[in-house]
Amino acid sequence: MNVGWIGLGKLGAPCALALQHFAGHDVIGYDLNRVRVERMFSEGGDHGEQGLTDLIDRGPLKLAHTAAEVVAHADVVFVAVQTPHAPAYGGETPAPWDRRDFEYAFLVQAVRDVCRAAAHQGKPITLVVVSTVLPGTCNKHIRGLLNPFVSLVYSPLFIAMGTTIADFLRPEFVLMGADRPEHLAPVVEVYGQLHDRPVFKTSIESAELIKVAYNTVISAKVVIGNAIMEICEKTGADCDEVIDALSLATDRVISSKYLRGGMGDGGACHPRDLIAMSWLAQRLDLSYDLLGQMAIAREAQTGWLANLVERWADQTGHPICILGKAYKPESVLTAGSPALLLAHQLRERGHEVIHKDIYVDGEFDRPDEPRVYVIGTKHPIHATCNFAPGSVVLDPHGYMPDQAGVTVIRIGRKS
């Protein structure tokens, strides 16, 4: 099938390449920043994305100069442009009390360009909006741009930066929303060439909510897991044992994934989606802004960890060093990183903080003097580090081994 993909950023480019090389579709891509995309294709490197270099080596995408060129080529046009939050709402720092919706200007412009091109060319197309939006957005911002040549489908992806390709190739399910069921057929065909995963078909409004609800439920599990870790640290219980027991309750608790004690929720989607959903709760005047309280809990739990770091720094007199800036293991991506939030909170309290990440910075500091270390990211390599005698290692994840002459504290765990 002839496919167009508008928006070739960190998520869009891997997905478009996967459709080309794994599904065999004839894909053409377009991005406002063509220079950045051409550089990505020519320079190689992992770009923080597992498997992207291999896909680029198979052959880059054809690139269009305009959205109109994409429409001329494609029967199905995916729009995966950014719907950003202001930097203060990304999760790396405490979020302002004044909540906000996402910014939709890029999405509106891309959809407008596609719709105008389809009308001008007199060509019927299926427009698939992939970008994350809050419920009601398509009705408010998108439907008014449509014309008789454009059928709208809202089909967001459940993918994470760093593992985009694997997530795209093997999703738990594919979500598709449309006003009319027949609009879904071309999109089902596109994905049917890629995998055999189930398709959940619904209205556009429900699909909008399912996407952000999925992310906020994960955020809730992280908050609960960290609350259990904090209780265990204060009572002598073991948080891993607690979660292992809860994990057996598959009828009611479902699974232990994301429920482990550790750092706060992170990534480019989850913290910002949680904050945006809090804005929506306030705008809809819900009886209680539970989602806003979850965002507050995420920051408060990081604040509690900062308290623990402070106590050990005051007790030992050692400098503070956070190991890991990335939001997840073996990644260079730092969007929404809880480790950055921790560093921010400690610096706000007046502490000097050394912050290192072997993946992000390309090197690992190996000091001779003792420090108070915090394992901010669960990089496997941290478990092999030799710390200076007298150091204190605070491990929220519970995976660091004991080391002679070093105090290792697996937070909320007995052993």
**236 and 282 belong to one structural domain:** yes
In a domain, 396, yes or no: yes
- Name the one residue in this structure whose structure tokens are 């260079």: 332
**66 and 178 belong to one structural domain:** yes
Helices then strands (H, E): number in the chain? Answer: 14, 13
Q: Are 31 and 104 in contact (CB under 8 A)?
A: no
Whole-angstrom distance, CA of residue 353 vs CA of residue 367: 14
In a domain, 70, yes or no: yes
**130 and 229 belong to one structural domain:** no
Nearest Cα residue to 266 out of 321, 207, 342, 210: 342
**180 and 305 belong to one structural domain:** no
Counting the structural domains of the chain, the total is 2
Q: Which two tokens stand for residue 141?
A: 């911002």
pLDDT at 113 exceeding the cut of 60 = yes
In a domain, 293, yes or no: yes
Domain end call among 167, 202, 237: 202
pLDDT higher at 325 or 48: 325
Nearest Cα residue to 396 out of 302, 262, 306: 262
**309 and 282 belong to one structural domain:** yes
Q: What is the pLDDT of residues 364-405, one digit of tens each?
A: 777 789 999 999 999 999 999 999 999 999 999 999 999 999
**pLDDT recorded at residue 376:** 97
- In a 10 Å sphere around its CB, with 0-12 CB exposed, 13-18 middle and 19+ buried, how is residue 112 labelled? middle
Backbone phi, psi, residue 232, to 5°:
-65, -40
* Residue type present at position 58: R
Q: What percent of the chain has pLDDT over 90?
A: 67
The reply to whether the predicted model has a pTM over 0.85 is no
pLDDT at 46 exceeding the cut of 60 = no
**100 and 169 belong to one structural domain:** yes
pLDDT at 14 exceeding the cut of 60 = yes
In a domain, 252, yes or no: yes
**196 and 250 belong to one structural domain:** no
In a domain, 353, yes or no: yes
**130 and 244 belong to one structural domain:** no
Q: Are 55 and 21 in contact (CB under 8 A)?
A: yes
**194 and 220 belong to one structural domain:** no
Q: What is the pLDDT of residues 274-294, one digit of tens each?
A: 888 889 888 888 788 888 888
- Which of 85-94, 325-334, 343-352 bottoms out in mean pLDDT, i.e. has the lowest? 85-94
pLDDT at 45 exceeding the cut of 60 = no
Q: What is the pLDDT of residues 120-138, one digit of tens each?
A: 999 999 999 999 999 999 9
Whole-angstrom distance, CA of residue 85 vs CA of residue 100: 8
**231 and 196 belong to one structural domain:** no
Whole-angstrom distance, CA of residue 114 vs CA of residue 118: 6
Provide the terminal-to-terminal Cα distance of the chain, rounded to the nearest Å. Answer: 56
* Residue type present at position 63: L
List Cα–Cα distances, 131 to 284, 291, 297, 311, in angstroms: 22, 21, 27, 43
In a domain, 104, yes or no: yes
Domain end call among 202, 226, 243: 202
Q: At what angle do helices 204-235 and 239-246 cross, to 10 degrees?
A: 140
Q: How many residues does the chain have?
A: 415
Range of the domain at 238: 213-410
Secondary structure element (H or E) that encloses residue 204, with its range: helix 204-235
Q: Are 354 and 365 in contact (CB under 8 A)?
A: yes
Whole-angstrom distance, CA of residue 155 vs CA of residue 127: 10
In a domain, 392, yes or no: yes
In a domain, 415, yes or no: no
**252 and 186 belong to one structural domain:** no
CATH of the domain at 266: 3.40.50.720
Q: What is the pLDDT of residues 330-365, one digit of tens each?
A: 999 999 999 999 999 999 999 999 999 999 998 877
Produce one character per residue of 39-61: b if its CB has 16 or more CB atoms within 10 Å, e if not.
ebbeeeeebbbbbbeebbeeebb
Mean pLDDT of 2-6: 98
**147 and 238 belong to one structural domain:** no
Domain end call among 202, 230, 257: 202
